[in-house]
Structure 1
Amino acid sequence: MNVEDVRRDFPILHQEVNNHPLVYLDSAATSQTPAQVIDAIDDYYRRYNSNVHRGVHTLGSLATDGYEGARETVKRFLGAKRTEEIVFTRGTTAALNLVASSYGRANLTDADEIVITPMEHHSNIIPWQQAAKATGAQLKYIPLQPDGTMSIDDIRSTVTEKTKIVAVTHVSNVLGTVNPVKEIAEIAHENGAVIVVDGAQAVPHMSVDVQEMNVDFYAISGHKMCGPTGIGALYGKKKWLKNMEPVEFGGEMIDFVDLYDSTWKELPWKFEGGTPIISGAIGMAAAIDYLQSIGLEEIEAHEQRLVTYAVSRMNEIEGVNVYGPEKRAGLVTFNCEGVHPHDLATVLDSEGVAVRAGHHCAQPLMKWLDVTATARASFYLYNTEEEVDVFVEALKKAKEYFGDVFI
């Protein structure tokens, strides 16, 4: 993988911010978009913008082919068996809410347990809190090790015969922890539970095969993997999806509507009420094609080199505390003693370096870390070691700027 060739594909990277070349280290929040994806979306709007499924005219047929072709692309990307197992959503949040609201509320009782972890994004906590309140089920948490990982023993002792749903993130958006999803799935299934996985931070950076991991549901977002915002997908095993009720009702998802009752389309369309996000699906498929043309293994190896280098450089700076395990995905979350993360991010921005600051939609994890917020630098296929050096030098400048409070 030639990083300079990759960087040429991303128009937004070739600009200055605050009179400095942009160093974008916030891809865990939203990745940047290559020209190939922008062109695919542009082509849709310029050449065959139309609604899907209902129309018989040429543009409608082209739009339907593009939309359903995108579903086939996502199916292959995730290793699903059937296109019916791929439901387009607004993103990971919508996908997880769909599972919690439809499968969760229909299958949970007050005798059941939902098992999640303290490292979850709010999108994989709040839907289960609401499902528990609606059904009387008990919410349980797998404890974390001091480095932010989970032990198999703790997973086994938390997941019991009462557990009906295990919901975990594949990769933590704060710690960079890569969870053993396949092993967790085995434990869940041994106890008669299903496993729901938040894959938002995984699929942009590593190869994922939902069949090999044997997960029941897997949620992703396009905007974290070089695609557009407002589009994502839910993978669900057909045996679960076919018995689930829709949670949004209206056009597109119906088979027949009478005055007092209605029936639904087959999978996956019964979950896609209203005009779907056609351009988004086409853009996400183009992003998948782009990532696969480079190679997920190449991307993962590149990010590993960057994050290892970044952590080693950051450890040279007194007062910088890095959170998470030694073996991590391509992000590093940190604090500088005596400096609020927002102040730190502001100084870095003045040097053209974009990082994220705040609780990262993970307030329970912030409490576990005993902090109110952190800063986070996240790396992707278009970042370089030279940008890591710029980032580290900007951290040093921040230390000088804040003076004695930074100790």
Structure 2
Amino acid sequence: MPKPRELLLFSIVLIFSLSLPLPSIAGDPVVLDRLNKAVVDDGKLILNARFRYEFVDQDSRSRDANAVNLRARFGYETGYFYGFGFGFDVENVHAIGDDRYNSTINGRSDFPTVVDPEDTELNQLFLKFGGKEAFIPDTTVKVGRQRIIWDNHRFLGNVGWRQNEQTFDSARIINTSIPHASLQYIYIDKVHRIFSKAHATAGTRGMSSHLARVGYKFEGIGELSARTLLLDYDRAIFSGDSTKTFGVRFIGKYTLDDDWKVLYTGEYANQEDWEQNTSSFDLDYWFGEGGVDYKGVTMKVGYESLEGNGTSAFQTPLATLHLFEGWTDLFLTTPSDGITDLYAKIGTKVYGTSLVLGFKTLDAENTSANYGTETFFDVKRTFWGHLTPRLTAAFFNTADTSVAPDTTKLWLGITYKY
């Protein structure tokens, strides 16, 4: 018997499919022209590849990791034909040379972890409804396996840093009927994580989750948004990630003159246990960032706090976690005493080359313990609009080896995007 969530996905597809006034294609030049426009003129070829070397030196391991791999992605997305379209892409991650790293599924646990396991998978496959002839005006619906990103990836992201992208079997509705506003609802049936489908527990995870976001843009100032995430995982072993989270966020910039801009972001969220979660907690998240942009040189200072009570901590399991609490990826799971992140960074572009340099200190939120400090930098440049070489490095100096070891990570790669 079909599960309720499967019936929901099927019903959405069926309702919108039956509502489409699709005419007969044969012999109708107008229809053929519109089909050509949707598939060819408005269609988009998905073709990109990333070759990358990753080095990891970690004091807790006697051997260094040296990972070389190639990620290739190929697919196609159409435009809208009488309000209807579709898209897909296939992804392959291939290791080059010896597996001198722990991919989480290759059995090389004597090496530091580099979560780029070999895999070939259907990355996206979706139907979409929208465009000028949408069944509901100013509304886009997408059903199937898809990439989803909210805001800065903190609560919902695709983990694009890793070779194997995170995607979602889901139904997503976005409405922009109200000027300057957007309303969004998402139902998630499964999350296909970066660990690949071959990983017994960390790979694909089933759920029955409901997410909503409302945003309103104030001209010249910024956007105010509110979000809700009701995460309900199917299996009991993942019940610790079943949570309900409510939050608000404001982000914007204010132009002072031709040279100066003021940048600001503020965010708050509250998280509680939900559904099968056997723990009981009520935890807060705070984030604030301020900065200036002077003639293309951006300087920012920020503070992020994820509360912990010694047993449970604020978690964001669907996020692009690499972007937060250090690029060395030592705090992808928030410690039970929580974590605070105080950082400063500067970024600019010199002769077309993007440069970022930063420093952060990481501490426990619930106690006075210091976890350590991290220094990081990133250099990249795009040539001919398609080819982007990139060098990134992060250096973590621990203050407590029982929490995290001294770690150095370096990435050197090149990406081609059609």
State the TM-score, normalizing by the size of structure 1.
0.22
State the TM-score, normalizing by the size of structure 2.
0.22
> Relative CO higher for 1 or 2, CA cutoff 8 Å, sep ≥ 6?
1
Structure in which a larger fraction of residues adopt strand: 2
Structure in which a larger fraction of residues adopt helix: 1
